[in-house]
Amino acid sequence: MAQTTLPGLHIIDGIAAPTPGALLRQRILRHWGLLSGGLILAAIVAMAIFAPLLAPHDPYDQDLARKLIPPVWHLSAKASWTYPLGTDHLGRDYLSRLLYGSRISLLIGFSAMLISGVIGTTLGVLAGYFGGRVDTAVNFIVTTRLAMPVVLVALAVVSLVGSSLTVVIWVLGLLLWDRFAVVMRSATQQVRSREFIVAAQAVGCSTPRILLAEVAPNVLNHLIVIATLEMAQAILLEAALSFLGLGVQPPTPSWGLMVSEAKGLMFFDPWLIAIPGIALFLLVLSINMLGDGLRDVTAPENRG
């Protein structure tokens, strides 16, 4: 066919179809929820990493002479830029405690998510891949786990074992794996019947190899989405445990504990509960937005 006569149209010949990677990047850049969630989370992670550099004071340094200084936006003569977010009932700098508190939330959220992710993914993939009796057994374990009241069991175990950072992480990790198992099971079931799995079986690949090399890459996107949601869940639960006095112990700065320590004073100094509460809200919100966004861009058909 002759060269087109329309001016400018020949440019189209030079454009190749976008690659899947380019399409994915495009979907990510157009998803404002994913972007803003990612940005807020990145900011909080940076806060946690650089807390020693950013914090204007020592988060543990007490001085009753300077207790309950209000934050700078407060119309009070006591407010000053020396303590931008004010001080708590023991005179500790609130901004420094807030910065260090992000470490606790992220550390507990991430570690608990890793533990529950390993347990839940193992159970879910095994149930989905093998089906039959394995599936029945895993289903039963998940049902039993769901029947146990999480907050109550977590509180009871922490109180019996004794509270520490490690105990909280393990208790949450051992309790929150149910969603991993449920989602990984159905994702694996979908992959199992595909041709490339049958082909791998026919070639004589070992089961571990099929699970790791063929199944794992195809359920990874589901795994990442659940991981974000469960991390958010673990952070909220840690805050609730600390709020009830059975999570992170004082004087460690945890956002849930900060709200708890301030609740007696909230009628007079409401900013004391507002600041850590908003921080928790933003952290969980950003993780959820990131997770929802990842689900949308990696598997647009699963939008809820």
Partner 1 sequence: MVAFTAKRLGVALLVALTVSLITFSMIFVSGDPAVAIAGEGARAEDVDAIRKFYGFDRPIPVQYADWLTGALKGDLGRSYTLRQPVADVIASRLPVTLALGASAILFALVLAIPLGVVAAVRPNSFIDRFALLVAVVGQAMPSFWFALTLILWLGVYWRLLPITGSDHWQNFVMPAIALGYYVTPAVMRLTRAGVLEVLSSDYIRTARAKGLRPAKVLFKHALRNAIIPVVSLAAVQFGFMLGGSIVIETIFQINGLGYLAWESIQRKDLPVMQAIVLVLSVIYVLLTLAADLLNAALDPRLRTS
Q: Which residues bind partner 1 (CB under 8 A)?
A: 140, 143-144, 146-153, 155-157, 159-161, 232, 236, 239-240, 243-244, 246, 256, 259, 263, 266-267, 270, 273, 277, 280-281, 284-285, 288-289, 304
Tokens of residue 146, six digits: 């769901």
Cβ of residue 31: shortest distance to partner 1, in angstroms?
14
Cβ of residue 153: shortest distance to partner 1, in angstroms?
6
Cβ of residue 150: shortest distance to partner 1, in angstroms?
6
Tokens of residue 63, six digits: 């001085």
Cβ of residue 69: shortest distance to partner 1, in angstroms?
21
Give DSSP secondary structure letters for 107-133: HHHHHHHHHHHHHHHHHHHHHHHH-HH
Nearest residue (CB) to partner 1, 76 versus 144: 144
Cβ of residue 147: shortest distance to partner 1, in angstroms?
5
Nearest residue (CB) to partner 1, 15 versus 147: 147
Nearest residue (CB) to partner 1, 223 versus 287: 287
Q: Are 201 and 193 in contact (CB under 8 A)?
A: no
Distance CA 115, CA 101 (A): 21
Distance CA 109, CA 193 (A): 34
Cβ of residue 41: shortest distance to partner 1, in angstroms?
12
Nearest residue (CB) to partner 1, 168 versus 239: 239
Nearest residue (CB) to partner 1, 35 versus 200: 35
- Quick one: the chain helix, strand, coil %, rounded to 5? 75, 0, 25
Neighbours of 253 (CB within 10 A): 25
DSSP letter (8 states) at residue 210: I
Nearest residue (CB) to partner 1, 104 versus 215: 104
Burial 144-175 (b: 16+ CB within 10 A, else e): ebeeeebeeebbebbeeeebebebbbbbbbbb
